[in-house]
Amino acid sequence: MTVDSAVSGAADAVGAAQSPARGRITARIDGLRCGACVRGVERALTAIDGVESASANLATGVVSVDRGRDGPCAAYLRAAVQDAGYDLPTETTTL
């Protein structure tokens, strides 16, 4: 999959609903291995309407997304990252 097709697929993610949301979402991301990976994730996320900026950090494996007034919900962002070939793992705690 090319970055262009991942961006296109991310922007058109099927079934991902938009919800009125604003603010920053920060999450761990799996699969970042190089600068090109970082740029691909950032590009996929910033292609989404309502995303003001996206920043992925290769060293920490963290992505931050700033959403505007009508920004996308977290599920939509997760779908975009997955379409680009990466994963935002779900943290779980076992008691």
The pLDDT of residue 91 = 63
**Residues 22, 65: contact at Cβ < 8 Å?**
no
The pLDDT of residue 59 = 96
What stretches in the chain show pLDDT beneath 50?
A: 1-20, 92-94
The pLDDT of residue 21 = 57
Task: For tokens 């997955």, name the residue.
Answer: 82
The pLDDT of residue 65 = 94
Tokens read off for 30: 């799996």
